[in-house]
């Protein structure tokens, strides 16, 4: 039986919950990735098979809120944002939790100012070995209130196994992201390590390895995100690829294939296994499911797409990246960003800023079809609120209860 988590009522949804429960009953093996339609008359919403809180996020929220409830008289700190959702982090702060670091890693409160009775919660991204040692130096056990995602830990364990077998670790991720900083720290303790952002960078690394590019290119592209003294000609003789779990799984697979092809070219296909470790089983199942469901959305017909999630949420930005290939897409942190049927504030990850778009809600066609989804750190209730906000701009909509009747019948 799947583990049940205690999620605070404030994050529980009415609309999306009933849709998800119905889908779970009709498709318990999660084979059908096609979205379903919730029809409100003049506007319809396409809801994907998988989205929202994943196992790792639910686990982190369960631990954090239980810790707060059980320790009312203690100082409680989070190393940094527990997950990349501003609403969740704002609520934790309102309950007295304080952050020790910004998401960039810049200290807010010095660890050496803490005492052994203080509680420090490790976020879902995990943390570095260096910070773990700092906590231990002031008498705090970094593992007592550890919400690190189990799938992140799985990546670390595989990295450790490979490192102990003298493999270098190529990490697919954003080198400034908390999870990748943590993964790099754990990797660097057992092996040489380098971070690649995308398939393009993997191609550059492969060409350096094959001596099709000058060795100086390594310092240009990777010198700031590799272990000291990294030698691509020596250290890439034997290696494996691991990833930041929120990266596009399809991209990680592409990175793996690019690096594997370079190994085959250099050593011959028959010797690939001697030089390249297969780590495809470390890819996060929840990320895979959410991205697969988003590809299912792409196969449907919609007029616009709304993606709900934090503006520093890596997995949310990847969902936007997929959907904007086909639909006019708007990434909003919550319903407050929808100002009217004429104005919406939304995050553009390419320009790295919030944009204002006018006339975002098309006058035609009717019914209007809206594809809607959210990142793995976004509570479903925020998706409900976005749906209700959009509905408020239409006349003669079907009631929520009426629109959800097909899902009640399915359940």
Structural domains in the chain, CATH included, are 9-54+286-410 (3.40.1010.20), 55-137 (3.40.50.11270), 150-283 (3.40.1010.20)
Residue 142 has pLDDT above 70, yes or no: yes
Question: Mean pLDDT throughout 81-93?
Answer: 94
- Provide the pLDDT confidence category of residue 31 given band limits of 50, 70 and 90: confident
Q: Identify the CA nearest to 286 among candidates 322, 256, 236, 247.
A: 247
Q: What count of Cα atoms within 13 Å lies in the side-chain half-sphere of residue 144?
A: 14
pLDDT digits over 164-213, tens only? 999 999 999 999 999 999 999 999 999 999 999 999 999 999 999 999 99
Tell me the pLDDT tens digit for each residue of 115-133: 999 999 999 999 999 999 9
Host H or E run for residue 403: helix 400-403
> What is the DSSP pairing of strand 36-39 with strand 43-47?
antiparallel
Rounded distance between C-alpha atoms, residue 386 and residue 338, angstroms: 8
Q: Is the pLDDT of residue 411 over 70?
A: no
Query: Average pLDDT for residues 317-342, to the nearest whole number?
Result: 97
Residue pair 203/222 in contact by the 8 Å Cβ criterion: no
289 annotated active-site:
no
pLDDT in tens, 263-293: 999 999 999 999 999 999 888 888 888 889 9
Please tell me the predicted confidence (pLDDT) of residue 409: 62
Average pLDDT, the chain: 95
Asked if the model's pLDDT at residue 322 lies above 70, the reply is: yes
Q: Are 121 and 82 in contact (CB under 8 A)?
A: yes
Phi, psi of 372 (to 5 degrees): -135, 140
DSSP assignment of 257-283: HHHHHHHHHHH-GGGHHHHEE--GGGS
How far apart are the C-alpha atoms of 71 and 69, rounded to whole Å? Answer: 6
Q: For the whole prediction, is pTM greater than 0.75?
A: yes
Report whether 299 contacts 34 (CB < 8 A).
yes
3-class SS letters over 344-395 = EEEEECCCCEEEEEECCCCCCCCCEEEEEEECCCCCHHHHHHHHHHHHCCCC
Residues 17-23 have a mean pLDDT of: 94
Report the share of the chain in percent with pLDDT over 90. Answer: 93
How many CB atoms are located within 10 Å of the residue 357 CB?
14
Cα distance from N-terminal residue to C-terminal residue, the chain: 19
pLDDT of residue 2: 60
Instruction: Say what the pLDDT of residue 1 is.
Output: 42
Which residues have C-beta within 8 Å of that of residue 11, sequence separation ≥ 6?
53, 61, 88, 379, 380, 381
Catalytic residue among 179, 201, 289, 337: 179
Q: In what order do the strands lie in the sheet with 98-99?
A: 98-99, 76-78, 119-121
Q: Which residues contact 326 (CB under 8 A, 6 or more apart)?
A: 298
Q: Residue 3: pLDDT band by 50, 70, 90 thresholds? A: confident
Contact 251, 317 (CB under 8 A): no
Alpha-carbon distance of 140 to 125, in angstroms, equals 19
Neighbours of 341 (CB within 10 A): 16
Beta strands at 98-99 and 76-78: parallel, antiparallel or unpaired: parallel
């Amino acid at each position: 039986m799947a583990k049940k988590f205690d999620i605070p009522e404030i994050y529980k949804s009415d609309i999306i919950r009933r849709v998800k429960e119905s889908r779970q009953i009709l498709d318990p093996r999660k084979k059908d990735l096609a979205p379903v339609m919730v029809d409100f008359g003049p506007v319809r919403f396409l809801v994907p098979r998988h989205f929202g809180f994943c196992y790792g996020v639910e686990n982190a929220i369960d631990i954090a809120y239980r810790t707060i409830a059980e320790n009312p008289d203690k100082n409680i700190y989070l190393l940094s944002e527990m997950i990349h959702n501003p609403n969740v982090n704002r609520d934790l702060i309102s309950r007295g939790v304080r952050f020790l670091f910004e998401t960039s890693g810049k200290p807010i409160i010095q660890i050496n100012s803490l005492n052994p009775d203080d509680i420090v919660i490790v976020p879902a991204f995990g943390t570095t070995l260096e910070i773990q040692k700092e906590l231990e130096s002031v008498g705090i056990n970094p593992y007592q209130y550890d919400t690190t995602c189990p799938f992140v830990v799985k990546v670390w364990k595989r990295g450790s196994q490979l490192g102990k077998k003298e493999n270098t670790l190529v990490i697919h991720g954003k080198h400034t992201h908390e999870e990748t900083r943590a993964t790099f720290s754990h990797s660097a303790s057992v092996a040489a390590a380098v971070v690649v952002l995308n398939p393009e960078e993997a191609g550059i690394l492969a060409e350096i390895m094959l001596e099709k590019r000058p060795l100086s290119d390594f310092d240009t592209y990777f010198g700031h995100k590799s272990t000291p003294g990294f030698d691509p000609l020596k250290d890439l003789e034997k290696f494996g690829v691991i990833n930041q779990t929120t990266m596009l799984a399809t991209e990680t697979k592409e990175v793996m294939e690019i690096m594997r092809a370079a190994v085959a070219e250099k050593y011959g296909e028959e010797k690939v296994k001697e030089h390249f470790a297969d780590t495809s089983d470390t890819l996060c199942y929840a990320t895979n499911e959410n991205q697969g469901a988003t590809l299912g959305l792409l196969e449907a017909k919609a007029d616009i797409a709304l993606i709900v999630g934090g503006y520093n949420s890596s997995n949310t930005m990847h969902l936007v990246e997929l959907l904007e290939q086909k639909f006019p897409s708007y990434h909003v942190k919550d319903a407050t960003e929808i100002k009217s049927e004429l104005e919406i504030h939304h995050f553009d990850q390419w320009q790295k800023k919030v944009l204002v778009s006018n006339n975002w809600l098309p006058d035609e066609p009717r019914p209007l079809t809206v594809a809607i989804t959210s990142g793995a750190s976004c509570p479903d209730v925020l998706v409900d609120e976005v749906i209700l906000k959009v509905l408020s701009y239409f006349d003669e909509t079907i009631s929520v209860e009426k629109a959800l009747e097909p899902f009640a019948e399915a359940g």
